């Protein structure tokens, strides 16, 4: 590592007060001479950032990296902020233009970082430096990470741990630190958790006074799902108005990886910029459908195969080692799904690059929906198989027991020869697993295991450094700060879509299969109460600080919530109609030869058809009512828009 890079113009980092740290790959040979043009690339990076208005300082990193600390100059920052405010005003996101003093007075940490990051990453034709980590000519730039105020985040975690539930002021604090996109997730988590009180109370009452698969609870649970999803749309709009992000998605800058085929003049602004035909992107997105269908068929076929293996080992096989062999299907599922997901993700990423999305929002939405296909099948397919294959048709195995016995005897495999009795509690046990055990395991894997792994990794890294002939030498006054920065650079990014996925899948379990066990909402309520604390700790301590991003919606997760609600109107009434009799799954003489389902097929079809149409009508009514009822925030917003336009007209006249 050449000394001139680290020694030239070295000032204490405390004087710089950096906004970001860039982790830069800097390869040297055994004598310390740069290889692969590392010095030239690094010099170009510093020159580019200086031209964009950034001050910089360099410190050694780990594993052949340099840490480049940067801070944007006040003048350049103010110019960028004024540009953002002007653009917001022109597109109707803001109703007025703030002067310099007002801009700086209300400037949050997130807004400052968002403006500074745009100067780094925006394409050159949009006024940025065009630095895209890990891509193109900037592939040697591994990460660009905004820095936390560690004392502030530590204090917030301590305060929130003492609260039963965060309030709107806490959501606003998250917004000021991590940006609107992350704050919207915590706002949704808070909103959804509060709304879980309703099905929790209803479920507890149903558990006390009604039998399983209660018609009353099924109807009320569906009503809750419909009202909750529409109420969130209203709440989401309130957040967008309060945070001045409403319609902000219309002014998003182009992705650095976007490649325009032509240049078009914006019909609104008159500005010429690279463009890509929307019809061509749509066709490329549609071309992914065969891949998605193929992956879905592979997963469903594998799940059915594991289901048959599980039924054979648990309920037909009667030989040695049964208690251990019964774990085989679980091992097969746990081992296969990550492999399939990894392969599917590779294909999905190649298609995403080919689709050539112009904005990060468009790219992200396409990615989320591609992944949600497998998430949906992996989460709900086992319950669908039990509900609509195993329980209604499992008795049909009995006539084939003698044939199975003949075939298995060739391999000295013992089976039950008398009868095959359906496990009447299978659906309950499965749903209880997904509602309780899976959430506990998921929380452990999400929040506990990464901490343990990080601690162990840091211990071995520290031991390695102590035994190394060359150790990192930091200034005493910077040592603690640099240690924290190096730890943060090694952390994974905070993926808000992973958090949404967890909550949306949970909502699907409650809405679709809620009648199976009415106490499930209580379990989810407790889980989410703990989940917030885990997510807040993870945001501030176990992941890198996210780049603040404006957002006025949680889309595409709104679409997924509506889809799951619609699906619930089909499945929840169906399983209630199939299994609502208290004795329908009880064993009796000769019951193993009969289907436990007593309802005629045409009646079941009529129930599903009626509930779906009724729910669609109900959703239409609820949505219309919510649209009619304006919140105080929405009324004030409309009033301010009117007053601003009135003043403009009066001044014009």
Give me the residue spans of the domains in the chain.
Answer: 3-147
CB 435 within 8 A of CB 520: yes
632-652 vs 215-242: helix crossing angle, rounded to 10:
30
Q: Is the pLDDT of residue 356 over 80?
A: yes
Residue with tokens 């809750």: 224
DSSP at 56: E
| pLDDT, tens digit, 9 for 90 and up, residues 530-540 | 888 889 989 99
Q: What are phi and psi of 367, to 5 degrees?
A: -65, -45
Q: Is the pLDDT of residue 550 over 80?
A: yes
Greater pLDDT, 429 or 95: 429
What gap in Å lies between CA 315 and CA 390, rounded to an integer? 12
Q: Is the dihedral of CA 49, 50, 53, 57 positive or negative?
A: positive
pLDDT at res. 467: 46
| pLDDT, tens digit, 9 for 90 and up, residues 427-442 | 888 999 988 888 888 8
pLDDT at res. 425: 83
Q: CA distances (Å), 563 to each of 232, 285, 372, 504, 514, in order? A: 15, 20, 12, 11, 16
Residue with tokens 């020159």: 47
Least-confidence region, from 106-115, 565-574, 644-653: 644-653
CB 271 within 8 A of CB 125: no
Alpha carbons within 13 angstroms on the beta-carbon side of residue 205 total 11
* pLDDT above 70 coverage of the chain, percent: 87
Q: Is the pLDDT of residue 11 over 90?
A: no
Q: Is the pLDDT of residue 348 over 60?
A: yes
Number of neighbours of residue 477 by Cβ within 10 angstroms: 10
Q: Is the pLDDT of residue 521 over 90?
A: yes
* pLDDT above 90 coverage of the chain, percent: 34
CB neighbour burial string for 401-434, b if at least 16 within 10 angstroms, e if fewer: beebeeebeeeeeebeeeebbbbeebbbebbbeb
Cross-strand bridge partners of residue 141:
24
Region 47-57: what's the mean pLDDT? 90
Short-list 389, 411, 413, 424, CA closest to 308: 389
Round the average pLDDT of the chain to a whole number and report it: 84
Region 573-591: what's the mean pLDDT? 68
Q: CA distances (Å), 183 to each of 222, 446, 631, in order? A: 28, 20, 20
Cα 354 to chain centroid, rounded: 23
Strand-strand pairing, 65-72 and 20-25: antiparallel
What do you get for the CA distance between the two ends of the chain, in Å? 68
| pLDDT, tens digit, 9 for 90 and up, residues 365-393 | 999 999 999 999 999 999 999 999 888 88
Region 609-616: what's the mean pLDDT? 90
Q: CA distances (Å), 130 to each of 61, 119, 136, 258, 362, in order? A: 24, 8, 10, 11, 19
CB 480 within 8 A of CB 150: no
Short-list 446, 552, 538, CA closest to 501: 446
Region 67-71: what's the mean pLDDT? 92
Least-confidence region, from 187-196, 267-276, 300-309, 559-568: 267-276
Q: What is the largest CA-CA distance in the chain?
A: 98
Which stretch of DSSP H or E encloses residue 59?
strand 54-60
Greater pLDDT, 113 or 313: 113
Region 32-45: what's the mean pLDDT? 80
Least-confidence region, from 99-108, 284-293, 334-343: 99-108
Q: CA distances (Å), 251 to each of 93, 254, 260, in order? A: 9, 9, 17
Cross-strand bridge partners of residue 544:
493
Q: Is the pLDDT of residue 5 over 50?
A: no
What gap in Å lies between CA 214 and CA 491, rounded to an integer? 47
CB 547 within 8 A of CB 113: yes
Which stretch of DSSP H or E encloses residue 48?
helix 38-51
Non-local (6+) Cβ contacts of 608 within 8 A are 570, 573, 574
| pLDDT, tens digit, 9 for 90 and up, residues 259-316 | 777 877 766 566 677 888 888 999 999 999 999 999 999 999 999 999 988 888 887 8
Region 502-518: what's the mean pLDDT? 94
CB 180 within 8 A of CB 109: no
What gap in Å lies between CA 18 and CA 60, rounded to an integer? 16
| pLDDT, tens digit, 9 for 90 and up, residues 461-502 | 665 555 444 455 777 877 888 888 888 888 899 999 999 999
């Amino acid at each position: 590592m050449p000394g001139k890079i680290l020694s030239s113009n070295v000032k204490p980092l405390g004087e710089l007060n950096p906004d970001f740290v860039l982790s830069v790959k800097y390869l040297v040979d055994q004598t310390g001479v740069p290889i692969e043009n590392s010095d030239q690339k690094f010099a170009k990076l510093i020159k580019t950032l200086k031209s964009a208005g950034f001050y910089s300082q360099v410190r050694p990193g780990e594993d052949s990296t340099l840490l480049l600390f940067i801070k944007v100059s006040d003048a350049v920052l103010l110019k960028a902020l004024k540009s953002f405010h002007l653009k917001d005003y022109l597109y109707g996101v803001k109703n007025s233009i703030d002067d310099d003093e007002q801009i700086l007075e209300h400037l949050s940490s997130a807004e400052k970082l968002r403006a500074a990051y745009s100067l780094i990453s925006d394409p050159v034709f949009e006024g940025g430096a065009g630095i895209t980590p890990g891509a193109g000519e900037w592939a040697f730039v591994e990460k660009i990470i905004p820095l936390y105020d560690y004392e502030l985040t530590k204090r917030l975690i301590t305060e929130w741990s003492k609260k039963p539930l965060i309030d709107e002021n806490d959501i606003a604090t998250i917004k000021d630190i991590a940006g609107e996109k992350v704050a919207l997730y915590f706002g949704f988590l808070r909103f959804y958790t509060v709304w879980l009180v309703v099905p929790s109370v209803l479920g507890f009452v149903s558990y006390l006074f009604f039998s399983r698969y209660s018609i009353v609870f099924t109807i009320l649970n569906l009503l809750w799902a419909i009202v909750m999803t529409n109420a969130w749309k209203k709440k989401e709009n309130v957040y967008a108005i309060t945070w001045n992000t409403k319609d902000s998605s219309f002014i998003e800058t182009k992705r650095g990886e976007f490649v325009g085929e032509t240049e078009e003049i914006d019909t609104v602004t008159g500005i010429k910029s690279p463009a890509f035909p929307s019809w061509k992107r749509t066709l490329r997105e549609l071309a992914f459908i065969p891949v998605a269908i193929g992956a879905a068929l592979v997963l469903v076929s594998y799940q059915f195969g594991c289901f048959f293996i599980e039924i054979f080992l648990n309920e037909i096989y009667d030989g040695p080692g049964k208690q251990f062999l019964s774990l085989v299907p679980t091992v097969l599922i746990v081992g296969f799904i990550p492999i399939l997901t990894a392969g599917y993700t590779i294909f999905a990423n190649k298609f995403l690059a080919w689709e050539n999305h112009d904005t990060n929002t468009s790219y992200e939405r396409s990615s989320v929906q591609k992944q949600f296909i497998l998430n949906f099948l992996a989460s709900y397919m086992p319950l669908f198989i039990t509900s609509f294959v195993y329980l209604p048709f499992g008795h049909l195995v009995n006539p084939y027991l003698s044939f199975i016995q003949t075939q298995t005897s060739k391999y000295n495999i013992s089976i039950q020869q008398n009868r095959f009795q359906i496990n009447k509690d299978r659906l309950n046990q499965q749903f209880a697993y997904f509602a309780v055990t899976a959430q506990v395991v998921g929380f452990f894997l999400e929040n506990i295991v990464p901490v343990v792994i990080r601690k162990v990794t840091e211990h071995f890294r520290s031991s390695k450094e102590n035994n190394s002939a060359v150790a990192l030498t930091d200034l005493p006054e910077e040592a603690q700060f640099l240690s924290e920065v190096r730890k943060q650079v090694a952390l994974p990014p905070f993926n808000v879509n992973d958090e949404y996925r967890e909550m949306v899948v949970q909502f699907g379990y409650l809405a679709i299969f809620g009648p199976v066990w009415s106490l499930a909402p209580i379990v989810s309520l407790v889980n989410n109460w703990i989940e917030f604390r885990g997510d807040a700790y993870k945001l501030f301590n176990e992941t890198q600080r996210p780049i603040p991003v404006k957002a006025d919606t949680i889309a595409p997760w709104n679409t997924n919530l509506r889809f799951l609600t619609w699906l619930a109107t089909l499945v929840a009434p169906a399983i209630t109609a199939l299994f609502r009799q208290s004795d329908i799954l009880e064993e009796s003489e000769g019951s193993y030869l009969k289907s436990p389902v007593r309802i005629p097929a045409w009646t079941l079809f009529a129930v599903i058809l009626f509930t779906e149409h009724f729910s669609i009508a109900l959703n239409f009514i609820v949505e219309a009512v919510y649209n009619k009822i304006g919140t105080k925030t929405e009324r004030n917003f409309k009033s301010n828009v009117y007053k601003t336009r009135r003043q403009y007209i009066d001044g014009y006249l």
